[in-house]
Structure 1
Amino acid sequence: MKKYIKKYQFGIIVGVAFITITLIIPYVINKVMYLPIKTNSTSDSDWLAFWGSFLGGVFGGFLTLTGVRYTIKENEKEKEKENEKNKPFIVPLKNTILVYRDVINETCYLSNQGKDENFFIYEQIYFKLINLGKEHAFNLSLGWNPPETHQIENFLQQKHIDNRFKKCFNLICNSRPEKRDDEIQIIKSCDNQDVQETYLFVGWESLIKNLIECIALTNKGNKNDKTYVNMPLGKLELKYENIYGNDVNKIYSIYGQVFQGIIDKDMESYYLSFKFNLEDPNN
């Protein structure tokens, strides 16, 4: 009940004031006019004209005040919507990398979006960020939080993949988040059509390599057209500032999708795609 009253407080006040002005005040005036009050030479019509003019001014002013208040509130709502639309909103773009597996040496390495081939020991991926807001974003820092052990185990069980590297999974899943502070000083607004490329350190050697190995050993070197989707790869945390110095914090869940490419006796290839799902801050 209290919430209802608070929500419609202004409407209730307006309703009470309207009833008071239109019903109660005329009744009171009617009674007062017949009181034995000594005046100069005034008649009932004079008093009615006075009270009509007086109450009309009061009532008209009240309606004007109500209209002005409503207009201000609506303008504030529109301004708030516009400000929200202008805020910097950085989105990581979905991308795909090619992972090679040397069958003889059982070594994995990747061709990362046209970059030089990086061995997993470097533990980094390149990806692109775009700012969908109209304001610039400043002092971006990003961090990678590894997935939890049970998430990896559930994925392997659901996909019928033999987990032969449980110890390594536990190691990476229980490690500390890896941060990249002030990796990008400024990302321009979408009006500039600016796409910024950066990279993120992740636990490649302990996580992705082992997942690929699990898939490869489960398939025993045979071609498998199955696509492994929704592989949990942890969370991406983005922190940056708007033009007023206010902090913005966004967290994305990272999911991988693996599809087997060329398979021969010496080399196997796998396409690994990343997608980023923005988490609801209210959850």
Structure 2
Amino acid sequence: MFAELAEWVESNDVFGPQRHRYGDDPEQVADLRMPTGDGPHPVMVLIHGGNWRAQFSKTTIEALAVGLTQAGWATWNIEYRRVGNGGGVPATGADVAAAIRALQDVPGIDLQRLILLGHSSGGQLALRAAQKAQVAAVVCIAGYCDLREATRLGLGNNAVPAFCGGGPDEVPENFDAADPTRHLPLGKKTLLAHGTADEVVPPSLSASYAANGQRVGDSCELLLLQDAGHFDVIDPRSEHWRTIEAATARLLEPEPTEDSPGEEA
């Protein structure tokens, strides 16, 4: 699938990504794509997955960057240090935060309409970054929402202990810092999208996070996509992605107010 998406990107990417640096490390870069038309444009920060490991890069989510830019979003596809090239807790999270702050220097975008979107392990990074960043909303797709449960299940060939530097009993402070479930309420609009046929990260992680978020008062929507697998949800050619895209756009709609006019009795 990724080979097909790479061909699709080559055929459809007319935006010529601009490479930006947000730090001195070779991994601290982001690709900016700007849509046509007058700005300022809403902006989507894309945080790729890959179990936080160095062999997976932002190219895995590049097709979404192109698709979203076609739809009118400015996209900021970030790279960050990962396990194997200087990443892990807390370095990886610090990189994501720095990449988001670097948007302050980018002209032509509307920072009041900024959304973080993370896939898989990138979902964990998006949820944690949203806690402190000035963002309108966060979208977590097939995400590692509960690091202790992911550890118990051994997801990603024991990716979570590798990311945290040990198990939850060895480095509890790292788990507490990185685990999205330990930082509710988030206080930001949240969309959790997950395929029911995901065999990489079970949808129960998103369902549990959404239920816990709603319980403590968060605006937290769960979108379960029937028969979608782990990577179907980041294919801009798919119906599953179109469903996520529509739900994401609704996150920027204003909240109804109590004095909104209603029907007369």
TM-score of the alignment, normalized to the shorter chain, above 0.5: no
Which protein has the bigger strand share? 1
Between structure 1 and structure 2, the one with the greater Rg is 1
Higher relative contact order (CA 8 A, sep 6+): 1
User: What's the TM-score bracket when you normalise by the shorter of the two chains?
Assistant: under 0.3
TM superposition score normalised by structure 1 = 0.20
